Amino acid sequence: MASNISIDQLAAEITKAMRQYTDDVSAAVAEAVDKAADEILQEVKTNHPYKDRTGEYTKGFRKTKRDEPGRTRRIIWNRKHYRRVHLLEFGHAKRGGGRVPAYPHLRPAYDKHAPKLEERIKQIIRNGG
């Protein structure tokens, strides 16, 4: 037996269902991004190729939320030694000539955990949250 429903009611129900789906997916994606950022931060703090004599450089890494409408972002950065990060990551020229070797630590951690995040987001979208 068919039920009588107006077009306006149908449109409102579809809109409500889509809004619920979008909210569920957005919340699940934000949670997945947080988890991936935590994993990257932990990797940077524990598996680094440089010798941190005092531990101050490693302790300075933080995770910051930078969300915008429709965009979930987490930034891993060093609060105290932010000027030193690129010098260690990419190496640099010495004052008297020659180069200081690079000690990549941020990019390898990102490359290790980002593909898992991409797959997790695809799974979240398929499952609706």
Let me know: does 62 contact 49? Beta carbons within 8 Å. Answer: no
Rounded to whole angstroms, the Cα distance separating 74 from 118 reads: 15
pLDDT of residue 129: 77
pLDDT at 2: 57
pTM of the complete model beyond 0.85: no
> Using an 8 Å Cβ cutoff, are 117 and 32 in contact?
yes
Q: Give pLDDT < 70 ranges for the chain.
A: 1-2
| Rounded CA separation 37/34 (Å) | 5
Q: What is the pLDDT of residue 20?
A: 94
Mean pLDDT (the chain) is 92
- Output the CA angle 83-88-92, nearest 5 degrees: 90
pLDDT score, position 29? 95
Q: What pLDDT score was predicted for residue 17? A: 92
